[in-house]
Amino acid sequence: MNTTEDRAQELPQLVRLLTLLAAAVALLAVVVLAQLLGPAGPAQVVAVTDEATEGPPPPGSYHRPATPAPDTALIPLTAAGREIRYGRALVARTAAYLGPRGTVGSYTNGMNCQNCHLQAGTQGFANNYLAVAATYPKLRARSGTAEGIEKRVADCMKRSLNGRAVPVGSREMRAIVAYIQWLGTGIPKGKEVYGTGFVPLPYLNRAADPQIGKAVFAAKCQSCHGAAGQGQLLAHGRGYQYPPLWGPGSYNDGAGLFRVSRFARFVKAAMPFGASFDHPQLTDAQAWDVAAFVNSQPRPHLPTPHDWPNIAQKPIDYPFGPYADSFSATQHKFGPFQPIEAAQLSIKQP
């Protein structure tokens, strides 16, 4: 029960409360005034340019050097060695042999395998080939079949190089496979090869944003890849100095890089040119957002009605339905991916 004494004790507390309240109101007024009188422009634009020009993240997450490729000086001076060297040349300068004006024939677009498999497939986490020999033939969910190295190479010719595959058994196919197998020299089946494939990249807590990605592209990619993503041809015109990122000369929408996560993980460890997995130049958000922007631009279409015969095995970021879950194609393309992953886990672990 409240007595007069109690109320008298409450009085100083009330004063303190009122003082605090007054201070809070004053602070609010200062913040509002600062907003009104501060630099003009919508907050959204500031966020965009900030992200686009943000400096590289501090190095240090990856101290371990990638598994090195065998020394090319050790390729034997035999017929088998000649085949391996030819395979390496085909990977590094694909367009000169198989491009639109290629010396072997016109099979693929003007790009090289090496444009995406850096340093002829040997750079750490830049789509590196070192584990291929030890892991193929392998069951791939995209086709629902066991695939040998030839099928995997043919896939990149049809999709990433938006062309047609050289025949199995052709001198070129045999050479590329021989080179990839040589890269796997001494790597037994099942051994972990640090540096193959892509670098891990955490999901953002939001959808990847093509609008922000556009600003990242302008700040960090356009100088080489061109304002329209068209790339820059070499002077003789048979191949690119800087490969295209979209448009008719680029990879098609059936290619691995068309998935936003593949693109983001590739560029995080490899772009702008000169970056590496242990010295990245993009923040995680920049990598995701620029991936969303580039993969929103026009590019060749490849009908792939037979891909992912089991739709429950479609990757989280596969941008074409139908899906086994109820998330939209847009969310599957750009995220946020955590809710999709959580839903898939709950299906798999009832």
Q: Is 127 helix (H, G, I), strand (E, B) or coil?
A: strand
Which of 69, 131, 187, 269 touches ligand HEC (CB under 6 A)? 131
Minimum distance from residue 342 beta carbon to ligand HEC (Å): 23
Does residue 314 interact with ligand HEC by CB under 6 A?
Answer: no
Q: Give the C-alpha separation, 124 to 231, whole Å.
A: 24
Query: At CA 115, angle to CA 204 and CA 331, rounded to 5?
Result: 25
Does residue 118 interact with ligand HEC by CB under 6 A?
Answer: yes
- Contact set for ligand HEC, span 149-208 (CB under 6 A): 149, 152-153, 156-157, 160-161, 176, 180, 196-197
# binding residues, ligand HEC (CB under 6 A): 46
Which of 85, 93, 158, 225 touches ligand HEC (CB under 6 A)? 225
- Contact set for ligand HEC, span 51-110 (CB under 6 A): 91, 94
Q: Which is nearer to ligand HEC, 127 or 331 (CB)?
A: 127
Are 156 and 93 spatial neighbours (Cβ–Cβ below 8 Å)?
A: no
Stretch that binds ligand HEC, among 37-45, 76-84, 216-224, 342-350 (CB under 6 A): 216-224
Which of 102, 210, 256, 300 touches ligand HEC (CB under 6 A)? 256
Residue 159's nearest CA partner among 2, 331, 303 is 303
Q: Is 33 helix (H, G, I), strand (E, B) or coil?
A: helix
Are 345 and 212 spatial neighbours (Cβ–Cβ below 8 Å)?
A: no
Q: Give the C-alpha separation, 79 to 92, whole Å.
A: 20
Does residue 247 interact with ligand HEC by CB under 6 A?
Answer: no
Does residue 251 interact with ligand HEC by CB under 6 A?
Answer: yes
Q: Is 93 helix (H, G, I), strand (E, B) or coil?
A: coil
Element (H, E) at 97: helix 94-98
Which of 95, 132, 212, 215 touches ligand HEC (CB under 6 A)? 132
Does residue 255 interact with ligand HEC by CB under 6 A?
Answer: yes
70: preceding bond cis by omega (within 30 degrees)? no
Q: Give the C-alpha separation, 86 to 167, whole Å.
A: 16
Q: Give the C-alpha separation, 111 to 239, whole Å.
A: 6
Query: Which residues in this chain contact ligand HEC in the complex, by CB under 6 A?
Result: 91, 94, 111-118, 127, 129, 131-132, 149, 152-153, 156-157, 160-161, 176, 180, 196-197, 220-221, 223-225, 242-245, 251, 255-257, 262, 266-267, 271-273, 282, 290
